[in-house]
Amino acid sequence: MTDNHSNPEKVPTWEEIARDHGRFLYTVAYRLTGNYDDTQDLVQEVLLRVERGLVNYQPGNLNGWLSRITTNAFLDAVRRKKRRPEQALPDEPDRVLEGAPGADLALAAAKLPDHLQAALLELPEDYRAVVVMCDVVGLQYDEISDQLDIPVGTVRSRIHRGRSKLREILAPILDETDG
Amino acid sequence: MRDSDPRELFNAFLDDELDETERDVVTAACAESTALATELADLTVVRSQLRSLPDVEPPEGFFESLLERGTASADAELPANVSSMSTARRAVAKRRSVPSLLIRSVSVAAVFLLVLGFGSGIRAIERVPAIEEFASRHAAAAALMPESAETDEFHPMPMEEVKDLGPTGSAAGLQMMGAYQGGSGSDSVLQFVYSDGSDGVISVFRQDGAVKSSEMPPADSVVMAGHDAWHMTKGEADILIIDVDGVTFTMVGSLDSGPAMNTLVDELPGTNPGLLNKVQNSFRRVLDTIGL
pLDDT, tens only, A30-51: 999 999 889 999 998 898 888 8
In the prediction, which pLDDT does B141 show? 72
Which residues does chain B have within 8 Å of residue A165's beta carbon, measured at their own beta carbons?
none
Cβ of A48 within 8 Å of Cβ of B74? The answer is yes
Give chain B's count of helices (H) and strands (E).
10, 10
Please count the other Cβ atoms lying within 10 Å of the Cβ belonging to residue B184: 8
In the prediction, which pLDDT does A179 show? 47
Q: What is the Cα–Cα distance from A111 to B49, expressed in whole angstroms?
A: 11
Q: What is the Cα–Cα distance from B203 to B177, expressed in whole angstroms?
A: 10
Mean of the pLDDT values across residues A85-98? 43
Between B17 and A114, the more confident residue is: B17
Cβ of A156 within 8 Å of Cβ of B222? The answer is no
Residue B88: pLDDT above 60? no
> Residues in chain A, how many?
179
Mean of the pLDDT values across residues A49-74? 87
From the CA of B169, how many Å to the nearest CA of chain A? 16
- DSSP assignment of A106-122 equals HHHHHTHHHHHHHHHTT
Cβ of B53 within 8 Å of Cβ of A31? The answer is yes
The rounded mean pLDDT for chain A is 79
Which residues does chain B have within 8 Å of residue A167's beta carbon, measured at their own beta carbons?
39, 42-43, 46
From the CA of B179, how many Å to the nearest CA of chain A? 26
Residue B224: pLDDT above 60? yes
Query: Which of A104-118, B125-139, B173-187, B275-289 tops mean pLDDT?
Result: B125-139
In the prediction, which pLDDT does A29 show? 95
Cβ of A30 within 8 Å of Cβ of B66? The answer is no
In the prediction, which pLDDT does B105 show? 40
In the prediction, which pLDDT does A92 show? 44
Q: What is the Cα–Cα distance from A25 to A39, expressed in whole angstroms?
A: 9
Across the interface, of A26, A37, A44, the residue whose CB is closest to B74 is: A44
- DSSP assignment of B134-174 equals HHHHHHHHHHHTTGGG--SSEEE--HHHHTTTS---GGGT-
Cβ of A167 within 8 Å of Cβ of B266? The answer is no
A&B contacts, CB < 8 Å: 134
Q: What is the Cα–Cα distance from B222 to B75, expressed in whole angstroms?
A: 6
Which residues does chain B have within 8 Å of residue A84's beta carbon, measured at their own beta carbons?
92-93, 96, 226
Which residues does chain A have within 8 Å of residue B225's beta carbon, measured at their own beta carbons?
76, 80
In the prediction, which pLDDT does A173 show? 78
Q: Kindly indicate the confidence band of residue B130, based on its pLDDT and cuts at 50, 70 and 90.
A: confident
Cβ of A55 within 8 Å of Cβ of B8? The answer is no
Is the minimum CB–CB distance between B255 and chain A shorter than 8 Å?
yes
Residue B215: pLDDT above 50? yes
Cβ of A51 within 8 Å of Cβ of B66? The answer is no
Q: Kindly indicate the confidence band of residue B25, based on its pLDDT and cuts at 50, 70 and 90.
A: very high
Residue B80: pLDDT above 60? no
The rounded mean pLDDT for chain B is 71
Residue B229: pLDDT above 60? yes
Cβ B243 vs Cβ B227: under 8 Å: yes
Q: CA angle, corner B272, sides to B271 and B276, nearest 5?
A: 95
Between A179 and B107, the more confident residue is: A179
Beta strands (DSSP E) in chain B are: 126-127, 154-156, 175-182, 189-195, 201-208, 210-211, 221-224, 227-234, 237-244, 247-254
Interface of B with A in 177-236 (CB under 8 A): 222, 224-226, 231
Q: Kindly indicate the confidence band of residue B209, based on its pLDDT and cuts at 50, 70 and 90.
A: confident
Q: Give, as one character, the DSSP assignment of residue B251.
A: E
In the prediction, which pLDDT does B12 show? 94
Mean of the pLDDT values across residues A138-146? 93
Mean of the pLDDT values across residues A43-71? 87
The alpha carbon of A65 is separated from its chain's Cα centroid by a whole number of angstroms, namely 14
Cβ B25 vs Cβ B9: under 8 Å: yes
Residue B276: pLDDT above 60? no
| pLDDT tens per residue across span B148-197 | 555 666 777 777 677 778 888 877 788 888 888 887 767 788 888 888 87
Mean of the pLDDT values across residues A82-89? 53
Query: Which of A22-36, A69-83, B212-226 tops mean pLDDT?
Result: A22-36
Burial of B126 (0-12, 13-18, 19+ CB in 10 A): middle
Is the minimum CB–CB distance between A86 and chain B shorter than 8 Å?
yes
Cβ A159 vs Cβ A166: under 8 Å: no
Q: What is the Cα–Cα distance from B226 to B89, expressed in whole angstroms?
A: 8
Q: CA angle, corner A36, sides to A30 and A40, nearest 5?
A: 85
Q: b/e map of B219-235 (b: 16 or more CB within 10 Å)?
A: ebbbbbbbbbbbbbeee
From the CA of B164, how many Å to the nearest CA of chain A? 18
Mean of the pLDDT values across residues A145-168? 93
According to DSSP, the β-strands at B247-254 and B126-127 are unpaired
Q: Give, as one character, the DSSP assignment of residue A124.
A: -
In the prediction, which pLDDT does B157 show? 76
Between A9 and B260, the more confident residue is: B260
Q: What is the Cα–Cα distance from A95 to A99, expressed in whole angstroms?
A: 9
- Cis omega before residue B146 (within 30°)? yes
CA distances from B208 to B99, B117, B225, B266 (A): 21, 16, 19, 18
Please count the other Cβ atoms lying within 10 Å of the Cβ belonging to residue B2: 4
Residue B132: pLDDT above 80? yes
Across the interface, of B17, B45, B50, the residue whose CB is closest to A156 is: B17
Q: B218 CB contacts (<8 Å, ≥6 apart)?
A: B73, B76
ipTM score of the complex? 0.81
Is the minimum CB–CB distance between B91 and chain A shorter than 8 Å?
no
According to DSSP, the β-strands at B237-244 and B189-195 are unpaired
Which residues does chain A have within 8 Å of residue B93's beta carbon, measured at their own beta carbons?
84
Residue A176: pLDDT above 70? no
In the prediction, which pLDDT does A154 show? 94
Interface of B with A in 32-71 (CB under 8 A): 39, 42-43, 45-47, 49-59, 62-63, 66-67, 71
Across the interface, of A48, A79, A131, the residue whose CB is closest to B222 is: A48
Q: Kindly indicate the confidence band of residue B66, based on its pLDDT and cuts at 50, 70 and 90.
A: confident
